[in-house]
């Protein structure tokens, strides 16, 4: 792939509002022109291109090295933009949008013929979300187009929660990055299919199942998330994702972790442990990462991908991770950890 000069707009701590405005206008103009630009959302950084420009969409797949059977989420800033993208808006979708948009909820609709097949990967449905991050909103409003955006990582790597993560994966491969500081939620949006008889969660994420059930009490989990060996309904969920370079194993009983770590070290491996602030000081290893605090799972979600990337930075070969409660956003945290562990779990 030929090298592309990547521009970085630092709107993060910019005290100069005029400068911030001009930077975002430039980034938005680039998107409108068909260039590919990374930007922060409240979940993770996205890699955005004009969703109605199939050349721009192809460029997104190329930059990430993403398999082309994995469809993209279309991001919008205004409810009116939805009508051109979909053929049908069920009542439950109206209620969910009213309650949770803008926010970390992606809805799957029947797609209109205006959506390029590159975006939907040939499916008859399209995923749409309205992000709440102020920079994402301003960029979307300013560009005036619906923006297709996967997470802004190289395919297979953990999603980026800082502009530095994006830079280390995609510098030289994309036109620009808007640095808006660390994202908040830390795991991707919840993908919810509302095109069938019941709402079905295809991917657990930032909006919890409990929150969805407040509006749609018949919400179900895709069977593939519950039973092993089932093909997931969301194409992206079948790939080994979110993985650090070292080999990760989940350990149900944390009391076993120190012994496992010592054993791996004795065999010459560089060993990492993923825990929380609550037990960080009980472990000795080459690198111990405290992923938030036990009392608040949102702190774990916010730091998870950062932690997985730090194991790489510390050249860790073998990682042992504690497991987390699966209520609330813990469902998304454990879904990502299981995938990152590729099935390695010590019960």
- The entry of ligand TXA, Mg ion, none that residue 71 binds, CB within 5 to 8 Å by partner kind: ligand TXA
Respond yes or no on whether the N-terminal peptide bond of residue 151 is cis (omega within 30° of 0).
Answer: no
CB of 242 to ligand TXA, least distance (A): 10
Structure tokens at 330: 């813990």
Tell me whether residue 93 or residue 237 sits nearer to ligand TXA (CB atom).
Answer: 237
Q: Using the rule CB under 6 A, is 43 a contact of ligand TXA?
A: yes
Tell me whether residue 156 or residue 328 sits nearer to Mg ion (CB atom).
Answer: 156
- The entry of ligand TXA, Mg ion, none that residue 180 binds, CB within 5 to 8 Å by partner kind: none
Tell me whether residue 62 or residue 79 sits nearer to Mg ion (CB atom).
Answer: 62
Distance CA 12, CA 72 (A): 26
Q: Using the rule CB under 6 A, is 335 a contact of ligand TXA?
A: no
Q: Which of 299, 307, 240 is nearest to 274 (CA)?
A: 307
Site size for ligand TXA (CB under 6 A): 30
Q: Using the rule CB under 5 A, is 143 a contact of Mg ion?
A: no
- Give the strand pairing for 190-193 and 200-203: antiparallel
Distance CA 244, CA 94 (A): 38
User: Within 13 Å and on the Cβ side, how many CA atoms surround 130?
Assistant: 16
CB of 206 to Mg ion, least distance (A): 13
Binding mask 144-183 for Mg ion (x = CB under 5 A): -------x--------------------------------
Binding mask 235-254 for ligand TXA (x = CB under 6 A): xxx-----------------
Q: Which of 104, 33, 117 is nearest to 75 (CA)?
A: 104
Distance CA 169, CA 112 (A): 33
- The entry of Mg ion, ligand TXA, none that residue 160 binds, CB within 5 to 8 Å by partner kind: none
Stretch that binds ligand TXA, among 167-175, 188-196, 210-218, 338-346 (CB under 6 A): 188-196
Q: Using the rule CB under 6 A, is 85 a contact of ligand TXA?
A: no
C-alpha pair distances (Å), 141 with each of 55, 78, 79, 125, 281 = 21, 8, 12, 24, 47
- Per DSSP, the chain holds a count of helices (H) and strands (E) of 11, 16
Tell me whether residue 222 or residue 286 sits nearer to ligand TXA (CB atom).
Answer: 222
Q: Which of 105, 201, 131, 165 is nearest to 305 (CA)?
A: 165
Q: Using the rule CB under 6 A, is 70 a contact of ligand TXA?
A: yes
Stretch that binds ligand TXA, among 143-151, 174-182, 318-326, 332-340 (CB under 6 A): 143-151
C-alpha pair distances (Å), 300 with each of 213, 274, 284, 294 = 23, 11, 21, 8
Q: Using the rule CB under 6 A, is 203 a contact of ligand TXA?
A: yes
Structure tokens at 104: 């970390």
Residues in touch with ligand TXA (CB under 6 A): 41, 43-44, 46, 70-73, 104, 106, 108, 120, 123, 125-127, 129, 131, 149-151, 188-189, 191, 202-203, 234-237
Residues in touch with Mg ion (CB under 5 A): 151
């Amino acid at each position: 792939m030929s090298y592309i000069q990547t521009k970085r707009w630092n709107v993060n701590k910019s005290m100069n509002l005029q400068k911030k405005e001009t930077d975002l206008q430039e980034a938005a103009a680039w998107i409108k022109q068909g260039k590919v630009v990374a930007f922060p959302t409240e979940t993770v950084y996205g890699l955005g291109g004009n969703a109605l420009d199939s050349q721009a969409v192809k460029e997104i797949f190329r930059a990430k090295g993403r398999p082309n059977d994995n469809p993209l989420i279309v991001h919008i800033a205004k409810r009116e933009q939805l009508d051109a993208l979909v053929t049908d808006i069920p009542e439950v979708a109206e209620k969910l949008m009213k309650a949770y948009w803008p926010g970390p909820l992606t809805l799957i609709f029947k797609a209109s013929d205006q959506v390029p097949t590159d975006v939907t990967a040939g499916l008859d449905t399209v995923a749409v979300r309205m992000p709440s991050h102020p920079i994402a909103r301003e960029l979307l409003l300013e560009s005036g187009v619906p923006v297709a955006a996967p997470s802004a990582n190289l395919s297979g790597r953990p999603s980026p929660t800082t502009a530095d993560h994006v830079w280390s994966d995609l510098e030289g491969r994309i036109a620009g990055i808007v640095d808006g500081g660390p994202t908040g939620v830390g795991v991707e949006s919840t993908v919810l299919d509302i095109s069938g008889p019941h709402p079905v969660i295809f991917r657990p994420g930032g909006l919890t199942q409990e929150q969805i059930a407040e509006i749609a009490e018949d919400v179900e989990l895709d069977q593939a998330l519950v039973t092993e060996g089932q093909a997931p309904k969301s194409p992206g969920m079948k790939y080994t994702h979110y993985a650090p370079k070292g080999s990760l194993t989940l350990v149900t009983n944390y009391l076993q972790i120190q012994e496992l770590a010592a054993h791996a070290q004795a065999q010459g491996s560089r060993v990492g442990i993923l825990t929380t602030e609550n037990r960080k000081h009980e472990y000795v290893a080459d690198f111990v990462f405290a992923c938030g605090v036990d009392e608040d799972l949102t702190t774990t979600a916010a730091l998870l991908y950062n932690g997985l990337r730090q194991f790489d930075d510390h050249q860790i070969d073998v990682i042992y991770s504690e497991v987390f409660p699966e209520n609330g956003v813990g469902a998304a945290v454990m879904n990502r950890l299981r995938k990152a562990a590729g099935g390695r779990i010590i019960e």
